[in-house]
């Protein structure tokens, strides 16, 4: 079995900019919420995406995304993004993410996001930074 890691929950509120004229969250914004949670996970673990790009010319890239929608989120909802990460290889992870309404735990959306790490010069996979790999050893 591949190593798993559970990230801290990420909390957010739905603002008018996230919604259509009826106050329902645009479907594409769930991708943004998932991205924010993944970025926050890296920040909290001292894994700077800016340093990876600027100093080492490396990037985290999305290979595949699969989403399932269950209930709409609406204006002013408080949401929780839950994230579990499976290390598939030293250069590939799968993020299992879900968005729930924080007040009643209603499942809003689920997704599986495959993230790879690459060398920007060659475009080829490269091992994740040791800081990330070490998270899966604990």
Domains in the chain, ordered, with CATH? 4-135 (3.10.129.10)
Query: Using CA atoms, how far apart are residues 103 and 129, in angstroms rounded to an integer?
Result: 37
Q: Is 98 exposed, middle or buried (0-12, 13-18, 19+ CB in 10 A)?
A: middle
Q: Residues 34, 39, 42, CA angle at the centre, nearest 5°?
A: 130
Cα separation, 102 vs 106, in Å, equals 8
Q: Enumerate the active-site residues.
A: 20
Note the pLDDT of residue 53: 77
d(C-alpha 119, C-alpha 126), whole Å: 6
Q: pLDDT by residue for the chain (138 residues), tens digit each?
A: 477 889 999 999 999 999 999 999 999 999 999 999 999 999 998 887 877 777 788 999 999 999 999 999 999 999 999 999 999 999 999 999 999 999 999 999 999 999 999 999 999 999 998 888 888 886
């Amino acid at each position: 079995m591949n190593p798993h890691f559970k990230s801290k929950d990420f909390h957010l509120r739905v603002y008018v900019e996230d919604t259509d004229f009826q106050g329902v969250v645009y479907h594409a914004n769930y991708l943004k919420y998932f991205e924010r949670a993944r970025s926050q996970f890296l920040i909290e673990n001292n894994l700077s995406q800016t340093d990876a790009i600027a100093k080492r010319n490396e990037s985290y890239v999305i290979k595949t995304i699969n989403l399932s929608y269950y209930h709409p989120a609406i204006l002013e909802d408080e949401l929780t993004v839950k994230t579990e990460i499976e290390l598939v290889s030293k250069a590939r992870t799968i993020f299992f993410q879900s968005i729930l309404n924080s007040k009643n735990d209603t499942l809003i959306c689920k997704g599986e996001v495959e993230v790879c790490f690459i060398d920007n010069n060659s475009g080829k996979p490269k091992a994740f930074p040791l800081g990330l790999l070490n998270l899966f050893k604990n």
